Structure 1
Amino acid sequence: MPKRELTEAEKKHTKIALRLAIFFACLILIDFLLISIFFSWRDWVAVFVFSLLFIVPGYISNAAMVIVGGGKPIDGGRTFRDGRRILGDNKTWSGLIKGPLYIGIPISIGLFCLLLVLWPNIVNVPMTGIKNNHYKIYNDIVYYQYYFIGGSFPFGFLSIIIRIVLCSYGAALGDLVGSFLKRRFDVESGAPFWVIDQLDFAVFAILFVSIPAFIFPNLFWVPDIYMIILLLILTPSVSIIANTVAYIGGLKDVPW
């Protein structure tokens, strides 16, 4: 099926998408090379895995908000002082509450339950690397315990559940902040708001999950600088590159 003719604005955004896809792919490569050179490539793999385990509840919840959305908009149709909608019709109470609660949190808990069951087998991989001095940054098993199973059972798994809830709703609120900014810059609903669209939920997920670390530092950790950098690169990369590839492959009319 042939693609529809793009408008001039869409053509402009398509060029931006292609450039951003290349840019973020290069950033991932640079991040990998820097950590591999100064530490080890295994440390980068550990950062990558830890980052995914950290942010996956936010990814799922952010997508779920679209699935279970609909109904009454959060802003109730009200406008801001600039005369534009505060959030828009697509941001609803149903999506905000049910997305994380019905989909993001349950799926994430299920995932970590699976990791808990598989942990006796998983732990052999980092233990072997640690014994052979393959890691320079993550050379202690506590890192792997924290991100895979939360630490010692049962308090460790309780901390996992708290992290999941905070990450899920942090991502949901971050999405609302992104929508608020789109309206302020007069970006139409559904139109791309490059990088902000992809980073808003990740930034707020990081912030929310970091809160208990300042209250209970023995149970919760703030993501380290390597994870934060990779998350800020990886999150927009996944969306932009995937959509661009889908567009080039003829699966989407536009790369966003």
Structure 2
Amino acid sequence: MLEIIITAVWLMLPAYISNPMAVVFGGGTPVDLGKNWKDGRRILGDGKTFRGLIGGTVCGVIIGLIQMWFSPLVPLGSFTLTAVITLSFGALLGDMVKSFFKRRLGYSRGAKLPLIDQLDFVAGAWFLTYVFDPRWFSENFLSSPWIIITVLILTPLFHRLTNIFGYYIKLKKEPW
């Protein structure tokens, strides 16, 4: 069981890093450029910025490149460059898609949407990786349903802990 947990975290690390690092590097120009959708609400909101998107993606890619370098020494799964990029960028894309739909439903920035808030980035990372590197995704996730289940169980816990930490160091306005 411990091996499955370690493998799941290893495989998700580019996404796990890019998501909170977007908060660290965030601020500045919003991705939606302050525009509203046809319903009169912001497309994404001020919390999704170019600095966060780029900074978070770059941090996830850097971690993935380090993992690629260590892969021959660590028998937890190797990475392709495509997988590293899609896990990192896909995590942030998933978060933006969730924000788009939260705005459509009338949720304000920072409002809770249980489980969706914790798993949006996983869905984005998995979707983009499956589209652009289906072989890597299949070999590393679809070959073991226990890896998928472990990610789906651990991610909300990790998400909550990093958000509490971000709140206490004043990077986030809410601890969720």
TM-score class, shorter: 0.7 to 0.9
Q: 2:18 aligns to what?
A: 61
Q: Deviations over 1:46-103 (max 9, x none)?
A: 32122111111001111111111222111121112222111001111221123212x2
Q: 1:88 aligns to what?
A: 45
Q: 2:103 matched to 1:183?
A: yes
How far off its partner does 1:221 sit? 3.9
Identity of matched residues, %: 36
Local SS of the residue matching 1:71: coil
Q: Deviations over 1:108-146 (max 9, x none)?
A: 322442454xx2xx55xxxxxxxxxxxxxxxxxxxx4xx
Select the residue among 59, 82, 94 that pairs with 1:162: 82
Alpha-carbon distance in 2 for matches of 1:244, 1:95:
16
Alpha-carbon distance in 1 for matches of 2:152, 2:90:
15
- Whether the 8 Å contact between 2:4 and 2:146 is mirrored in structure 1 is yes
User: 1:1-256 residue pairs with structure 2 within 5 A?
Assistant: 44-101=1-58, 103-116=59-72, 119=73, 144=76, 147=77, 150=78, 159=80, 161-214=81-134, 217=135, 220-222=136-138, 223-224=141-142, 225-240=145-160, 242=161, 255-256=175-176
What is the TM-score when the length of structure 2 is the normalising length?
0.81
Alpha-carbon distance in 2 for matches of 1:182, 1:164:
27
Mark the runs of 5 or more structure 1 residues left unpaired by the alignment.
1-43, 124-143, 151-156
1:254–1:84 distance in 2 versus 1, CA, 3 Å: closer
Alpha-carbon distance in 2 for matches of 1:210, 1:172:
15
Partner AA of 1:203 in structure 2: A
Partner AA of 1:54 in structure 2: L
Q: 1:18 aligns to what?
A: none
How far off its partner does 1:255 sit? 4.6
Structure 1 stretches of 4+ moved >4 Å: 243-246, 250-255
How far off its partner does 1:203 sit? 0.9
Q: CA RMSD in A?
A: 2.7
1:162–1:192 distance in 2 versus 1, CA, 3 Å: same
What is the TM-score when the length of structure 1 is the normalising length?
0.58
1:67–1:254 distance in 2 versus 1, CA, 3 Å: closer
Alpha-carbon distance in 1 for matches of 2:124, 2:174:
27
Alpha-carbon distance in 2 for matches of 1:90, 1:244:
14
How far off its partner does 1:107 sit? 2.7
1:191–1:77 distance in 2 versus 1, CA, 3 Å: same
